[in-house]
Chain A
Amino acid sequence: MSALLFEGRDWSFETLQKIYDVVESVAKEELGLDTFPNQIEVITAEQMLDAYSSTGMPQLYRHWSFGKRFAQFEGVYRAGLQGLAYEIVINADPCICYVMEENSATMQALVIAHAAFGHNHFFKNNYQFRQWTDPTGILDYLAYAKKYIASCEERYGEAEVERLLDAAHALAPQGVDRYPRKRPMSLVDEEKRDRARKEESERLYDDLWRTVPRSGEAARKAIDHQRALLRLPQENILYFLEKTAPKLQAWQREALRIVRLVAQYFYPQQQTKVMNEGCATYCHYRIINRLHETGRIGDGSFLEFLQSHTNAIRQPTAHDPYYNGINPYALGFDMMCDIARIVREPTEEDRQWFPEIAGRGDEMAVLKDVWANYRDDSFIAQFLSPRLMRKWRLFHIVDETDAPKLRVAAIHNERGYQDLRRSLASDYEVGRHTPDIQVVDVDLAGSRRLVLHHRVFSGRLLDVVDATLVLRHLTRLWGYEVVLQEIDATTNEVLKAHMASPEP
């Protein structure tokens, strides 16, 4: 039972299968992970670059921006500035893990434990993913999207489609629903329903209705009615355009929808970076350690594993020239380990801070509950412990434009814990990093001018150059004038307005 799974760095497909089986037994029996079925795909470095540039998806419609990303990654990789990721994992059912052929046998074990079990468990159980993504339908949908866009290119020309996709990509961050939809519907059903609706409206269309005259009162009522139909205000700009932009053709609406749904698919990943990596790193750490303890991997392999693991969770301090933000792997892993410690061997302080979990004894039950029910900001706000803040020596700096110097607002001491935890958590609120922009009004009686509001918090106006460019894209889709007003969230004062008119 305790024979080595492999020796040296070479692996074969049988080794891979053996590794998988052993990792699976540890993951299922000891950790109790609950995963989608896995599909491991062995790929080359070039294919890894391919996968990188199309946001990890195995197939995506064609667009120049993916070519740009490919060129960038390739340049960096060729110059040797950065190695490739060892794996990419796709949130689908079955869960697809790409592993590179160059990986050594140890790395393959690490990758399988990390992606095929850690990430996979997270995808299947976290509420964000359950709410927003449809892992069974996604691959079919992407295939459909690719074919659809290609057929549009054939029919309407590449230039036309490219213009549309450029505009849609510019608005994609404003194309996600942030609040749960009414009822979950599979992408396939939704597509079917839309098609049926379109057919019905074509069948019922009668041009004569348009010619029936209306008096003033009735006309105003009609406008009010129309406005109600627009369901304003609307924060999902792409959705709004798809449903209401007057000049778009059916295929353009469908293309907007595709961009919107793809953006929506990635929305949970943005919100759970720390947790997702923390979960996967914690799982692979436990699994590989267990393999070493039971003698399934040798000491040499274990050292190799430790080296990659330590690299992944390296966190330079703020004074270090290599400091480049907080490493989600490091923070995630440390927090998971810390929670496990609190559950098993709590100190007096932990009992005070975490009365519900301290000393419960079963760390996997607690962790699985955490992985299922939190996202980054709520996770940090809830579980960043004073002990970890001391270990990381966290401090909070405030930089105010009119102050001559930076001020240290809090450090890792009794008075600072709450402040640190709150500030760090708010850094991970997705809402804080995407501007709050909503469609608030349309001039239905006259010019069809579209009015948007950006609610400005603490003076964070929009970057003028980018805003102008995006508005130009927006007018192209809307077809009429567009106004974007920046409104202070506290005083409701209009700070700035951007305007764009369609090109004649």
Chain B
Amino acid sequence: MRIVDRRLNPGGKSFSNRQRFLRRVRETVARAVREASRERAIEDLENAQEITVPADGAREPVFRQTPGERRDFVLPGNRDYVEGDLIDRPMGADGEGGGEPGRGHGREDAFRFVLTREEFLSIFLDDLELPDFAKRGLVDTQKLGSRRAGYSMSGAPANLSLGRTMQMSLARRIAMGRPRQHTVERLEEEFAGAEGNEAAELLDEVLRARTRRMRIPFLDPVDLRYRRFERFPKPVAQAVMFCLMDVSGSMTEHMKDLAKRFFMLLHVFLTRRYQRVEIVFIRHTDEAQEVDEETFFRSTETGGTIVSSALVEMDRIVSDRYDPASWNIYGAQASDGDNMMSDNDRTRALLQDRILPLCQYFAYLEVANPAEGHPLSHVGGSSLWNAYAPLAATARNFQMRRVSRRDHIYPVFRELFRRRERDGAEEAP
């Protein structure tokens, strides 16, 4: 008998089977994920998710017999029946409640299983990316890569290159004429069999060969070669996302909720998908203010509305901290569309002349009350919507959408950030 401890064996033996299964039911899982994301709080998105997959998505058919005209059951626990008794059929479609002995294979039910956070988010954020993620530069010198660069005479023992060292040693031994072991042995044999003068000569030769072997070592410190690595700066694409949110008094609780949901999705998307994206949060009433994440999502404030203030703030921050030559700059703005009439022209001009040329992409999301019609067919429009509308038609990197219901946030978000075919598409870092 042997006892084997298998606990330390690598786990995850089923991993590749699970991958295959997920791929198989990808369609259904994606639908379920999207439905789940409608109702759940966005914070929950970061946690593991339970997903229900209908059995059809993963059906394994085999030939099965239907029950037929006569079914027999042998059951334990008779109370007071005697032979020949007639019993009413129990309620429920299946006749005898679960009475099929042992092996009644019913139709498979839909079953639930838990997706890991990675799996959930990967499906949730499938096909999304920052558009036009193009600028790459050697800006951040701390990001160093390491690559092989030949051999060196010194180095850490761990980097000793045995092959190269032995090659050097062999070359040196040949060049210096180190007699080989079997040469010496052959000479010694000849000496043993020789006599007289010849013997003396041979002895001499043997001795010389031996000394030479002693003097020229098999391995000399000069033979040692180490693998060399060099550090080099890695080009890194950097991006910054500006989140501009209107928190003025005209925004109802519902609208703020929509806007926050939108930015939370954006936040999840950016932090999960991109390693190096900075996020700048700006909120504004009649004046704009850069805030931290916590304040942006949690605190409440009210006041008038001057949208241009936020754009001015964004412009200022860009010129302070983010050189457009090396940063990919993105903007996302959410507002109810109310703005002071006098500010509209200024806002549009700012966006058109200052912001859009800086940006790779700018998205405007207008939030509305649920009563205000279908989100995607908005006509008439708020003052800001009307001000931006001409831009949307002309500017390549500007998109605007309108949302009035919670469950439309995710589709609109997907639409704004779905993967687009373009020339010279580049991979995200």
Q: Is the CB of B1 within 8 A of A399?
A: no
| B208 lies within 8 A of chain A by Cβ | no
**Interface residues as binary, A13-36 with B (CB distance below 8 Å gives 1, 0 otherwise):** 100110010001000000000000
Q: Which among B97-105, B349-357, B384-392 touches the partner chain?
A: B97-105
**Interface residues as binary, A387-414 with B (CB distance below 8 Å gives 1, 0 otherwise):** 0000011111111111001111111110
Collect the chain B residues with CB atoms within 8 Å of residue A444's CB.
none
In angstroms, Cα B102 to Cα A65, docked, is 23
| B421 lies within 8 A of chain A by Cβ | no
Could you say which of A40, A461, A470 contacts B66, with CB atoms under 8 Å apart? A461
Q: Is the CB of B84 within 8 A of A407?
A: yes
Query: Nearest chain-A residue to B13 (Cβ)?
Result: A50
Q: Is the CB of A411 within 8 A of B83?
A: yes
Q: Is the CB of A50 within 8 A of B70?
A: no
| A66 lies within 8 A of chain B by Cβ | yes
Q: Is the CB of A53 within 8 A of B79?
A: no
In angstroms, Cα B74 to Cα A318, docked, is 10
In angstroms, Cα B66 to Cα A361, docked, is 47
Number of interface residues of B (CB under 8 A): 66
In angstroms, Cα B75 to Cα A316, docked, is 10
Collect the chain A residues with CB atoms within 8 Å of residue B59's CB.
469
Q: Is the CB of B75 within 8 A of A318?
A: yes
Q: Is the CB of B58 within 8 A of A437?
A: no
For window 53-102 of A, CB contacts with B under 8 Å fall at 53-54, 62-68, 70-72, 74-75, 78, 94, 98, 101
Q: Which among A169-177, A225-233, A336-344 touches the partner chain?
A: A169-177
If the complex has contacts A43-B7, A68-B58, A325-B102, are A50 and B14 also in contact, measured as CB distance less than 8 A?
Answer: yes
| B61 lies within 8 A of chain A by Cβ | yes
Q: Is the CB of B5 within 8 A of A42?
A: yes
Could you say which of B18, B63, B96 contacts A467, with CB atoms under 8 Å apart? B63
| A459 lies within 8 A of chain B by Cβ | yes
| B182 lies within 8 A of chain A by Cβ | no
Q: Is the CB of B70 within 8 A of A458?
A: yes
In angstroms, Cα B1 to Cα A435, docked, is 42
In angstroms, Cα B68 to Cα A433, docked, is 12
Q: Is the CB of A42 within 8 A of B101?
A: no
Interface centre among B4, B17, B50, B95 (most CB of A within 10 A): B17
| Closest chain B CB from A88 CB (angstroms) | 12
For window 421-473 of A, CB contacts with B under 8 Å fall at 423-424, 426-428, 433-435, 437, 454, 457-463, 465-467, 469-470, 473
Could you say which of B7, B18, B62, B85 contacts A67, with CB atoms under 8 Å apart? B18
Collect the chain A residues with CB atoms within 8 Å of residue B81's CB.
395, 408, 411
Q: Is the CB of B71 within 8 A of A399?
A: yes
Q: Is the CB of A66 within 8 A of B14?
A: yes
If the complex has contacts A173-B62, A460-B68, are A411 and B78 also in contact, measured as CB distance less than 8 A?
Answer: yes
Q: Is the CB of A42 within 8 A of B77?
A: no
In angstroms, Cα B84 to Cα A20, docked, is 53
In angstroms, Cα B23 to Cα A172, docked, is 23
Q: A13-B5, A393-B77 are in contact. List 16 more A-B contacts (CB 8 A).
A: A41-B5, A64-B58, A66-B17, A74-B114, A166-B60, A326-B74, A397-B72, A400-B70, A406-B88, A407-B86, A408-B82, A428-B102, A435-B63, A459-B70, A460-B67, A462-B66
Q: Is the CB of A326 within 8 A of B76?
A: yes
In angstroms, Cα B79 to Cα A208, docked, is 78
Collect the chain A residues with CB atoms within 8 Å of residue B215's CB.
none
**Interface residues as binary, B1-20 with A (CB distance below 8 Å gives 1, 0 otherwise):** 11111110101011011111
| Closest chain B CB from A290 CB (angstroms) | 19
Q: Is the CB of B13 within 8 A of A41?
A: no
| Closest chain A CB from B4 CB (angstroms) | 5
Q: Is the CB of B7 within 8 A of A399?
A: no
In angstroms, Cα B50 to Cα A235, docked, is 43
Collect the chain B residues with CB atoms within 8 Å of residue A62's CB.
16-17, 20
Q: Is the CB of A13 within 8 A of B69?
A: no
Q: Is the CB of A395 within 8 A of B78?
A: yes
Query: Nearest chain-A residue to B112 (Cβ)?
Result: A75
If the complex has contacts A44-B7, A411-B81, are A406 and B72 also in contact, measured as CB distance less than 8 A?
Answer: no
For window 148-183 of A, CB contacts with B under 8 Å fall at 158, 162, 166, 169-174
Collect the chain A residues with CB atoms within 8 Å of residue B78's CB.
318, 393-395, 411-412
